[in-house]
Structure 1
């Protein structure tokens, strides 16, 4: 009897955990849907919201201007145009000016924005927006900052020459919003209460500062020729590889156009990547990380130094890095062939040649086997997906972003499951228990192989007619059970063969994604199997 109650207790806890995890996913998906509806209400002739595309970037937390919390709920939406920085409010100085857009959005604000229940910051300043400000904004209980100045809204009083700036006004009765009344504004020749409070506060602060300065001068007995000690943030670059050209902070930042969108070549969970051409012979990829994501200077430098020793022909080479309180970026070798995600989408002739597909699969397997078997301690990637696999001009594959999950910890922008990883590629045992092993990387690798040989994505839209949880693995098993193995492969690949080798790779991918960890092969075993069916050299 006691054992029966214990088993029932465990089952109830598993059910509760599964339900809460599913609810978390549904909330995140809800926010992504709201963002897409909001996008449709804007006119965007210059493509400011081009990254808001669930097909190319299913993780909405990596979209331009969007920031999320650890549950992938949207907490900040900053779509601020850069055209009138001189008029920006001092209260908004904390907003990252590099995130503003040189182009402007038009149209109106959709009331659907009121559905972003976790939203704390909303900035749409200096765009060409019009119409009425939706009342639903005032129902956002967590909203702390609303900046709509510099637009052309209807029915809103212009507060000052800087533009329209709205603040949340709440009644004394809990949960009940109220409109701003004429009494909330000053007379034509008067001052705003906020301005009076600001003047008084500024005066007090200035007085206190003066007292502190005088006290400091007399206690330290400064002399006329004494030097004022100031903290100057170091702007150094630590270089691991001899690249025959001096790499300085200014050189790298200037080569990225000061991290301009026109130089951006990719967005990921850890930050955006920019092309930096220092000279015609020296082109780099610079991954700009979110400031404050690491857990301390010493730990960050130690982890980066450890990554410097991780070298393999199929790993993107870490050339150097810069880390300070205001800026962090990693410098890698630049690969002109793009990433595997784009390679699969285009499906040009090379993407249908078995020799090339086999080479890509083997290159990635070799890189993972090196991280798992030859690094001490072993390196777990935890975010294997096509966008993290880069290609050169001859279709050699290179694994990127290795070691970043451990270096930066659990992300608040790219994690959609509460663990490091991306929906559709995360192993089920990792998603449910948060316990990671090298077998989680093996599972993600199997998903990538299925995408490489088929026309389906990990969570393909065509799977929506099936039950929840149906993915590319379920689809491939269904095809095999129905005797339709050839229908798994992208059009043209099965016809050119060799068909026996294609089927063997399909079985390897499914074995990598099996639930049982003991049955999943190691990456070393996957390399051995792929080498056994290796076609003649290209």
Structure 2
């Protein structure tokens, strides 16, 4: 004879009195919930000696409960029926769920309802017509209160809810009810925990715990002021890894009801999160509260997997929930009342107008700080919503990785902050970019950098591991490239000797990276700040383009006009520096400058030799005198003259004055590899001719608009020459 019988949600319409239960002496579990069974509960059913679990919830049973139960029957669910009378004495020794019935206290026998049950009876909830609260928030499965980024105080929810149980808070402001037993599983906890870092949320701590149910899980708002509310439900999947394995095949599927109305059918947390675990999912619904009572119901309809990663891992699960009014409440939440009473005690002691004034000032201060926090929270939430979001790391983890951002780990500094070397707990070395508080447009550039790098992937682009959005100093976490930047390798204090094949491959790699950004990626990107210091070298000296803080998306059919010039002088194309005209050809120009610097082993401005101060004039003089190879770095013991000449021609072609005369980056790659012939450059760019006419004034090449250090002197430096008229306007506009 079978020991378990589950006929749940099978549309059964009958009475139990017609069944001969004496035949089922070995029955241990009977589940007839979510049907349409009518009539009374027969005494013969409850007297079965082996029966331990009985689920008869969500039917239409009536009458009173039998006066006795069998010796093994300790878990009984009669919730959501039409039962009446008083609660029998045997209920004290059992888990008995009588939520949503019509039970009342028996005054004659001095029999009171179990604690909180009176607030969960059908049609007679607590505080009907006398609301006590206007909101509530619960951190499901947690054992301590948590303040959320939405300014809600999430109450703990650590009560042990068994197979047929309910719970109501002491105030009472909310409650919960759980029904069901995990099949073929032993010692399965209804509360699950993970120490993993969760994505897509500012409140990772809210997702550490979640409450899980094998069948039906309900939460109730009790004594709420009537009106429309926004109900927010927050979920995250724990146990199904993103990596392909048998465990990743697990699926948790359930339905969501709010105020009796189904809001989601076959809801799959991981599917909604884009196929990712440890990623927060938020669902919001606007619902009416008409009887000072709110019900949230999560229901497992038997879909999804049951045994991944372990037996009994299925059913609904929720991390946090809240309900907030869409109207101006006339009553406060329970948390607000506590704070109000404390303030009242303090105010009672306060005497005099002076002290009252201090209280008012303190209130204003706290309000302004709260508004500032809220603004920061909204900014951070906007960053979390970015498509292609990277992993989110905690500030504590990165502070530990960089030894509290020690100066000994400082890799470099730029206009938007400092970069530190760090080591994560998994052993990876990373570069942590810390946004400077002094940067005026830093957060905008930070958001741009996340969005751009997250959506473009190429071997010649730096890899973004993650970010941290806590506090006022957001952080970006990149792969750490052992050999630093190209400018450091070529002409820094610790400059290394790069041989010819390495230099040529660096030029080719940068060209391929830019070709991808301009023509191959799903989004088209103008970097706007290509320069030697933004080319990083890995352990094998492969180049990777970094620092996307000034990057812009662009339309192939449009030429953008920028009201503010951004980038580094010396690498700026003339049309962009003078008129703000921005196309991908400004990156082509900057690439040409980088190629010349790489071949010559010197920056575009250098005072070491007064005849070679500006790299453009010097290289063009050599080219026109038929000695172009004389510009190649004298430190090179040997080089491929054919490749070098090809690279010089490409660089001069890329730095033509008109953007229409510059090649696309895909054509640059073809010319460098020799697939396409590099044409002879005949016409010297007009901007060089104009400089020479004005006495070699190229000061505009030597100032960094973005505020970063440059190898050339500033415009107000004693060593710089008199600036041209357009220079001042460009600098003023750029800053």
Q: Which has the higher contact order (CA 8 A, sep 6+)?
A: 1
Which structure's CA Rg is the greater one? 2
Which structure dedicates a bigger proportion of its chain to helix? 1
Which structure dedicates a bigger proportion of its chain to strand? 2
Please, what TM-score do these two structures have when normalized by structure 1?
0.50
